[in-house]
A = this chain, B = another copy of it.
Amino acid sequence: MVIVYTSAANVAERRSAPPSLAISTVIFALRPSEKSGRPTLWIPLVRRIREPYKGLWALPGGPLTHAESLQDAASRNLQETTGLAPSYLEQLYAFGGLHRSPSQRVVSIVYWALVQPTEAALADESENVTWFRADRVGDLAFDHNAIVDYALWRLRNKLAYGSIAYHFLGEYFTLAQVREVYEAVLDRQLDPANFRRQITSTPEIEETGEYLQGGKHRPPRLYRFTGRPGLDPDNRSTP
């Protein structure tokens, strides 16, 4: 059960060396569509500046350093590449196929994150960091297309069952804003009246006395989310 490495740094050792370990993150944010102005799902990608896949777009990521937990590594990574602090962060999956990278064996532990639009608007964007619509990312480096697809599947799942949508929004929000989140992620229209009934019946949603003023129509009431995210091992003891 315990590996003992031979002392000589020869080819045989290098060949049987343990796979290297990397952390990557799929970061989701809602941004207004260019056309309709309604919110749509976007993710930031970084351009590869080295081989392999030099020039292609890839998920932000990097090695796991010795002194940080997996979640901290994902957080730091997110901060370094986009300048963003996530409002939600959860482990997605460990990808460890043999031929993910042509040069060496790499195991990537991938996280997915949600950031709020106020943050996302401030996000660094440059020659080498650009936001893409989540459903139109083109051909990515490594197996990152499969990873993005899986992350999207998980996000949709969590949205449909868990109470995740509020991490896309600020502290106060209208029910129409929540509905826009659902419509953007699930990519279909929802009946406003039925949606209202469902959301208001969940105990984690609190009605405030405030209303959002300045709109063109009847001022909607503001709500607040009082729940907590987590059930995966990293977030379990969070009170």
Contacts and interface: CB of A to CB of B under 8 A. Distances in A.
A149 B95 CA distance: 23
Interface in A86-131: 91, 93-98, 103-105, 107, 109
Given A21-B18, A70-B94, A94-B91, A107 B64 contact: yes
Contacts of A94: 70, 91, 94, 109
Interface in A154-191: none
Nearest to A17: B66
Decide if the interface of chain A is mainly helix, strand, loop or mixed. loop
Given A64-B107, A69-B97, A19 B21 contact: yes
A97 B64 CA distance: 12
Contact of A96 (B3, B17, B58, B70): B70
A146 interface: yes
A232 interface: yes
Interface in A1-24: 1-3, 7, 9, 15-22
Contacts of A93: 91, 232-233
B20 A3 contact: yes
B66 A16 contact: yes
A62 interface: yes
A109 B95 contact: no
A198 to B, nearest CB: 19
Contact of A22 (B1, B91, B95, B109): B1
A94 B90 CA distance: 11
Given A18-B63, A21-B21, A21-B107, 12 more contacts: A1-B22, A1-B50, A1-B62, A2-B50, A2-B63, A18-B66, A19-B66, A64-B96, A66-B105, A67-B98, A109-B109, A150-B232
12 contacts: A1-B22, A1-B48, A1-B58, A2-B63, A9-B9, A18-B64, A18-B66, A19-B21, A21-B21, A69-B96, A96-B109, A147-B233
